[in-house]
Amino acid sequence: NAGVMQNPRHLVRRRGQEARLRCSPMKGHSHVYWYRQLPEEGLKFMVYLQKENIIDESGMPKERFSAEFPKEGPSILRIQQVVRGDSAAYFCASSPRSVGTEAFFGQGTRLTVV
């Protein structure tokens, strides 16, 4: 059973380009969480998704950021028109049900905006 898989591991984008970060949860997990770790800062919650539903997006910036978790395929975190301040490590975690379970994290995607 592979763990939470994120790709790419490293992503370099020029200012104004789009960044797409992918997260494949562990097998049997239907809950996905995205977290962002800015340089020299702690992890912050961004969004919580279940299959085809956004449950809580209270941590998402209001503009340029979107997330989805389709019925088939990985969860995608999309950042449009990236700026230097978007440079960070983005982590995905998954769980099999909503409460009472361990947090399983991916290796993260390190986004660098140049």
What is the nearest approach in angstroms of another protein to the Cβ of residue 47? 9
Do the Cβ atoms of 90 and 111 come closer than 8 Å? yes
DSSP 6: E
Based on CB atoms, which residue is closest to another protein, 9 or 15?
Answer: 9
**Residues in contact with another protein by the rule CB under 8 A:** 31, 33, 35, 41-45, 48, 55-56, 91, 93, 95, 98-108, 110
Q: Which is nearer to another protein, 17 or 98 (CB)?
A: 98
Q: Which is nearer to another protein, 6 or 86 (CB)?
A: 6
Q: Which residues pair with 107 in a beta bridge?
A: none
Q: Tell the smallest beta-carbon distance from residue 95 to another protein (Å).
A: 5
Q: Are strands 10-13 and 109-113 parallel, antiparallel or unpaired?
A: parallel
Least Å from the CB of residue 112 to another protein: 13
Residue 55's identity, in one-letter code, is: I
Q: Which of 20, 49, 24 is nearest to 34 (CA)?
A: 49
Considering the complex, state which of residue 35 and residue 79 has its C-beta at the smaller distance from another protein: 35
Q: Is 24:4 a contact under the CB 8 Å cutoff?
A: yes
